[in-house]
């Protein structure tokens, strides 16, 4: 589903990704781990289509199609979703109306009719229950005054609403207490199917206790330097990243 080939990318002239390869098939969960500054968030933002990053070599294919030239919204229309590390506060737009607009704009782009209001409400109700979100929360301004945990839960609620083909979760566990972590992970697991794929980007292993990956990759200095099964995550948790650095630099 997602094929990243020899991706080089820079921001403001500084090269951050230096030949990254990643292959994700439908039905799989991949974890990308790595120390701070390795390029994890850059990878997430580049897949979602943030414009500040310049791809200097290599490419990103979604279902075989090069998406590099597509705008962020076009990628979303094709089923790419990014759960933000730092969700943006947007005063004046409620969660519900943001989702209505997002879904209907996506449907329009896909040549579909707007979703009938009744179906929309039903969907919102179902998905907010899945994430144990209070109804009152939905009529608040998007992310405004939300706690860190509420913001992350709201991101996964949006994921549930958008039903993406490919979801990138960027540091979704940061700011979550243990109960919220369980709720969020449970939500993600329920959304998982044979037809979609999830890339979990994280510094720590603890989210992977709940969202169990098929593959774990270590991102270091702009490249995937090691890949393995979920046991690799445990090893990283135990030993930290230094041994990887030593291995690379040796």
Partner 1 sequence: MELKDKLVSSFLAFENTINVDAPVHDIRSQAIKVFEEKGFPTKKEEAWKYTSLNAILKHDYSIFPKEENALEFKDVKKYFLYDLDTYKIVFIDGKYSSHLSETTHDKIDVCLMSSALSHEKYKPIVDNYFNKIARQDGLTSLNTAFSKEGAYIYIPKNKLADKPVQIIHFSTGKESAQMLQPRNLIVVEENSHVQIIERHQSLTDNPVLTNSVTEIFVDKRAIVDYYKIQNDNQTASLIDNTYIEQQGQSVASVHTFAFGGNLTRNNLNFFQKGEGIDSILNGVTIIEGKQHVDHNTLVHHQEPNCESHQDYKGIFDEKATGVFNGKIIVDKEAQKTNAFQSNNNILLSDKATINSKPQLEIFADDVKCSHGCTIGQLDDNALFYMKSRGIGEKEARALLMYAFANNVLESVKIPQLKTRINKLIANKLGVDIGFDL
The site for partner 1 (CB under 8 A) is made up of 48-51, 71-73, 75-77, 80-82, 84, 87-94, 97-98, 101-106, 109, 141, 158, 162
The residue (of 112 and 212) whose beta carbon lies closer to partner 1 is 112
The residue (of 105 and 132) whose beta carbon lies closer to partner 1 is 105
The residue (of 158 and 205) whose beta carbon lies closer to partner 1 is 158
Diameter over CA atoms, the chain: 61
Which residues are CB-neighbours of 234 under 8 A, at least 6 positions away? 205
Which residues are CB-neighbours of 113 under 8 A, at least 6 positions away? 107
Rounded Cα–Cα distance for residues 68 and 6 (Å): 13
- DSSP H helical ranges for the chain: 40-48, 72-77, 95-109, 117-130, 148-162, 178-191, 207-210, 230-239, 242-249
Q: At what angle do helices 95-109 and 117-130 cross, to 10 degrees?
A: 120
Minimum distance from residue 164 beta carbon to partner 1 (Å): 10
- From residue 108, give the alpha-carbon distance in Å to each of 98, 113, 157: 15, 6, 21
The residue (of 107 and 203) whose beta carbon lies closer to partner 1 is 107
Minimum distance from residue 9 beta carbon to partner 1 (Å): 16
Minimum distance from residue 206 beta carbon to partner 1 (Å): 26
Minimum distance from residue 169 beta carbon to partner 1 (Å): 13
Residue bearing tokens 């939300």: 146
The residue (of 50 and 123) whose beta carbon lies closer to partner 1 is 50
Minimum distance from residue 75 beta carbon to partner 1 (Å): 8
């Amino acid at each position: 589903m997602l094929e990243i080939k020899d991706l080089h990318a820079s921001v403001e002239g500084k090269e951050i990704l230096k030949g990254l390869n990643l292959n994700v098939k439908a039905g799989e969960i991949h974890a990308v781990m790595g120390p701070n500054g390795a390029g994890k968030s850059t990878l997430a933002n580049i897949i979602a289509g943030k414009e500040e990053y310049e791809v200097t070599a290599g490419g990103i294919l979604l279902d075989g199609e090069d998406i590099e030239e597509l705008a962020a919204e076009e990628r979303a229309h094709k089923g790419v979703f990014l759960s933000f590390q730092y969700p943006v506060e947007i005063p004046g737009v409620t969660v519900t109306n943001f989702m209505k607009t997002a879904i209907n704009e996506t449907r329009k782009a896909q040549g579909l009719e707007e979703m009938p209001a009744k179906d929309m409400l039903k969907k919102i109700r179902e998905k907010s229950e899945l994430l144990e979100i209070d109804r009152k929360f939905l009529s608040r301004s998007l992310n405004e005054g939300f706690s860190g945990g509420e913001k992350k839960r709201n991101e996964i609620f949006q994921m549930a609403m958008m039903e993406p083909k490919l979801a990138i979760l960027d540091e979704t566990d940061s700011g979550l207490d243990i109960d919220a972590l369980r709720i969020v992970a449970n939500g993600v697991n329920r959304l998982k199917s044979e037809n979609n794929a999830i890339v979990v980007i994280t510094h720590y292993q603890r989210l992977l206790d709940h969202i169990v990956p098929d593959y774990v990759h270590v991102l270091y200095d702009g490249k995937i330097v090691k890949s393995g099964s979920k046991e690799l995550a445990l090893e990283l948790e135990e030993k930290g990243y230094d041994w990887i650095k030593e291995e690379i630099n040796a």
